[in-house]
Chain A
Amino acid sequence: MANAYDILIIGGGPGGYVAAIRAAQLGFKTAVVEREHLGGICLNWGCIPTKALLRTAEIYHYAEHAKDYGLKLEGKVSYDPAAVVKRSRAVSGQLNGGVGFLMKKNKIDVIWGEATITKLGEVSVGKPKKQPMQPQHPAPKGTLGEGTYQAKHIIVATGARPRVLPGIEPDGKLIWTYFEAMIPPEFPKSLIVMGSGAIGIEFASFYRTMGCEVTVVEVLPQILPVEDAEIAGIARKRFEKQGIKILTGTKVTKIDKGANDVTCTLDDGKGKTSTLKAARVISAIGVVGNTENLGLEKLGVKMDRGVIAIDAVGRTNVPGIYAIGDVAGPPMLAHKAEHEGTICVEAIKGLHPHAMDKLMIPGCTYCQPQVASVGLTEAKAKEQGLQVKVGRFPFVGNGKAIALGEPDGLVKTIFDARTGKLLGAHMVGAEVTELIQGFVIAMNLETTEEELINSVFPHPTLSEMMHESVMDAYGRVIHT
């Protein structure tokens, strides 16, 4: 049957399209249903276009500090918001097209529309109810259309969308989500960012570098709440030095919209309220899974705290229905979705993939300075009653960091004092998002401090700080 598949994946984001390719590699007849854009939020409205924006901010920052490096840039360095956004969209567009190519190359059918599971093994695809965010990359050619499709295995990979606080609904004009924040017609003079997770902090960092007055409002006592407190503290100091105002333990309770500005009412949690005016607000208080209109309730698919409940390889409680990525729970990260997709398909094939260990999923925030981490924070390790050895190495002790003009930052490592197991690694500073993978591999291979200390790290690199941090935990640090 033409409309029958071994595996049908609902959602063409990083989880869905990677699962589809793995499925095709394993010989499954595979289809992906997508309603707006191959590559999902990550590639179209998230990870990738924001990295393009942040690259602009980084270069702008260097240009402004050219004389620190002995360069003379005559005249004023300025920017063109439209061109900045255009570049970001072009980067996204290129990769969006690339996913279309990968689908074709792997002979994966792409079905354009919105899917509902009508019964076990059957999916109905109709017109999208959601208005896609504009501007949209063109839909790939040669897709299949609306209709009924059969599939032995259905993987739900529908991702997530911005969480909305009642009373503070984003309107796309004055109150933005990441969608609007990514394609501003012009950069606002002042900005309030609600939420200091990765999304909020990255936009705060971008807009601050581009010259906006930025205030970050975080309801928790710490910015970057999932990160190690010490690392988040260092990041906060750096942000404040750059001129970002940070209000922790503070809540936005109301937003009054003006003609071209907003006034936020803030509650500092101790009964004191105040108001703060800004041109725009970015609501970055988290994301929620897209679990609606999929027919999941009717089939009795179990949910857990707003996301689909799955086992270690993506199986729901209903045989034949699987879920991966954001819609299957935190951490809501593209690389977690990709990995879950791969594991899920391999399990369907009857291979014995390893179970997902969420503790080994790294997290990266591309603010200036960057933050990257994997494993337990120091607080979490102590909470678990573990005796820990903590190593620290500051950027100021590293030759390469000094040469780069990046003397601010820290590499922190946490070991189980009894076994030498690497429990976690946390970093803040230049390029740390590219360093963390070394520790991810170390953790996956279950190395102890001994193998890390015995490894030769190339000089001069920032990675030497990883070596030094481990040695510091064992009282052997050289360069401090």
Chain B
Amino acid sequence: MPTNILMPALSPTMEKGNLAKWLKKEGDQIKSGDVIAEIETDKATMEVEAVDEGVLAKIVVPEGTSDVPVNDVIAVIAGEGEDVKDVGKGDFSQPATKAADDKSKAETAKQVEKAQPAPASASTNGSGQQAPQQSAPPAPQPQQQTNGQGRVFASPLARRMAKDGGLDLTAIQGSGPHGRIVERDVKAALEGGTAKKAQPGAAPQPGVPAPKLAPSGMSDDIVKKMFEPGSYEEVPHDGMRKTIARRLTDAKQTIPHFYLTVDCDIDALLKLREQVNASASKDKDGKPAFKVSVNDMVIKALALALVRTPGANVTFTENAMLHHKHADISVAVAIPGGLITPVIRKADLLTLSGIANAMKDFAARAKDRKLKPEEYQGGTSAVSNLGMFGIKDFVAVINPPQSSIIAVGMGEKRAVVKNNEIVVGNVMSVTISCDHRAMDGAKGAELIAAFKQLIENPMGMLV
């Protein structure tokens, strides 16, 4: 029996991925454990290992193919003595019907995270945007299935009703056998207005909800027509870019943000930092056991402020407010091609050196795209710091399920008034973005005031 190699699900939430590269070619001998392909997901580039042995009879999905649905057949391995040519003749274009049967096989396909050479310097400081995360588990209902050539499976009745109702079938999720679109799906779409109207021609109507990753308001064609042909280079999105676009568009459209800005006097903080770092023990090479950054102290201050401000360390859900017992602080880390947000769990309980060492480890692995999903998902609040780029003050986009994020500006010398005199002081502006569904203005003010109090009296973080 020839064995189908299916697009593996590299994380529980993965729905599709890009087939970045084939490391074997048709006709190659495959041994169990051989790395045969590289799959690029929204977060990482992963290797696909062969489970079965044989000859790579056919590559069904060529390298460079984007958005290959999980469980689609990507290649076929012929067993010993099987005619490789015959294997290639099979119809591999309808993986949908096979998906369920072969699911267990897909699950056994081992995945290994790939360590890419670190191309550029990393920073523990991120940009204003948070890295995307997936929190919802995949819906149990089957996906709408196509046969890989764009054919939509729908019942005749569903087709007719969609046509009569002016609906685009490709925008409807099928609930029938193998994801087939049936009458009830079209009815639901007609009643709920969940599917976009079928549009003759390319021009989409503004305001019509389309289930795109990141609605841009304009079609690709229209956007491109605004620029001189040849005046730009077109670089297709990778998975991370798509996820960032989808998640942050979603955040800005569904979360009512409000913003509060404070200026923090960081003279005491800088002094304490020097003392703390000076106290670090050194190993035999003279390397200190830790080096605490201003950002590490910001993380700690935010975590303590969250747990000390009742009602601020929360997540909004449709039916309830989740009051978190500990502060998990998500920290934006810029990496080549995007950003990612490792989460410092229970940061309220960690020491400054503990936070410093955790961030050092996260930052190193983040730039290699080696973080595990559980290391960058979740979080109750977040820190984004653009101080090192000379940014004085900015506002950040909340990354669900968090209900707040602080945007940290550059610490700089400013003229400040102390004891009725203008003096030079070290000042850092911080702006918090709050989810108004989760907390109101006064609560947000209370939270950022508690944060400012800790930053300006940093001994409070040590005890």
Interface residues of A, Cβ cutoff 8 Å to B: 352, 354, 418-421, 445-448, 450-451
Contacts and interface: CB of A to CB of B under 8 A. Distances in A.
Nearest to A452: B156
Contact of B157 (A352, A354, A447): A447
Interface string B162-174: 0010000000000
A446 B140 contact: no
Given A354-B177, A419-B161, A421-B183, A450 B140 contact: no
B182 interface: yes
B160 interface: yes
Max count, chain A CB within 10 A of own CB: residue among B155, B157, B160: B157
8 contacts: A354-B177, A420-B160, A445-B155, A445-B156, A446-B158, A447-B155, A447-B157, A450-B160
A449 to B, nearest CB: 10
Given A419-B160, A420-B160, A421-B157, 6 more contacts: A419-B161, A446-B156, A447-B155, A447-B157, A448-B157, A450-B156
A445 B161 CA distance: 14
Given A352-B140, A419-B161, A419-B164, A448 B177 contact: no
Nearest to B164: A419
A447 B160 contact: no
B309 to A, nearest CB: 42
Interface of B: 140-141, 155-158, 160-161, 164, 177, 182-183
B183 A446 contact: yes
Nearest to B177: A354
Contacts of B157: 419-421, 446-448
A447 B164 contact: no
Nearest to B183: A446
Contacts of A420: 157, 160
A421 B186 CA distance: 13
B160 A448 contact: yes
Nearest to A450: B156
Contacts of B161: 419
Contacts of B156: 445-448, 450-451
A451 B160 CA distance: 12
Contacts of A419: 157, 160-161, 164
B155 A446 contact: yes
Contacts of B183: 421, 446
A421 B158 CA distance: 10
Contacts of A450: 156, 160
Contacts of A447: 155-157
A2 to B, nearest CB: 30
Nearest to A351: B100
Nearest to A352: B140
Max count, chain A CB within 10 A of own CB: residue among B140, B160, B164, B182: B160
Nearest to A422: B157
Contacts of B141: 352
A120 B371 CA distance: 46
Max count, chain B CB within 10 A of own CB: residue among A418, A421, A447: A421
A438 to B, nearest CB: 15
A452 to B, nearest CB: 10
A257 B183 CA distance: 56
A451 B161 CA distance: 15
A144 B182 CA distance: 46
A445 B181 CA distance: 11
Contacts of B155: 445-447
Contacts of B177: 354
A252 to B, nearest CB: 44
A446 B164 CA distance: 16
Contacts of A421: 157, 183
A451 B157 CA distance: 10
Max count, chain A CB within 10 A of own CB: residue among B141, B156, B164: B156
Contacts of A352: 140-141
Contacts of A418: 164
Contacts of B182: 446
Contacts of A445: 155-156
10 nearest A-B pairs in the assembled complex, by CB-CB distance: A446-B155, A446-B157, A448-B156, A447-B156, A451-B156, A421-B157, A448-B157, A446-B183, A448-B160, A419-B161
A352 B179 CA distance: 12
A246 B155 CA distance: 44
A340 B303 CA distance: 54
A137 B164 CA distance: 58
A421 B164 CA distance: 13
Contacts of B140: 352
B441 to A, nearest CB: 46
A138 to B, nearest CB: 42
A39 B322 CA distance: 54
Nearest to B140: A352
A446 B140 CA distance: 23
A178 to B, nearest CB: 38
A352 B161 CA distance: 26
B266 to A, nearest CB: 56
A419 B164 CA distance: 8
Nearest to A451: B156
A121 B141 CA distance: 30
B145 to A, nearest CB: 15
A59 B182 CA distance: 45
A233 to B, nearest CB: 30
A447 B182 CA distance: 10
Contacts of B158: 446
A368 B164 CA distance: 43
A289 to B, nearest CB: 30
A419 B157 CA distance: 7
Nearest to B165: A419
A450 B161 CA distance: 13
A178 B140 CA distance: 46
Contacts of A446: 155-158, 182-183
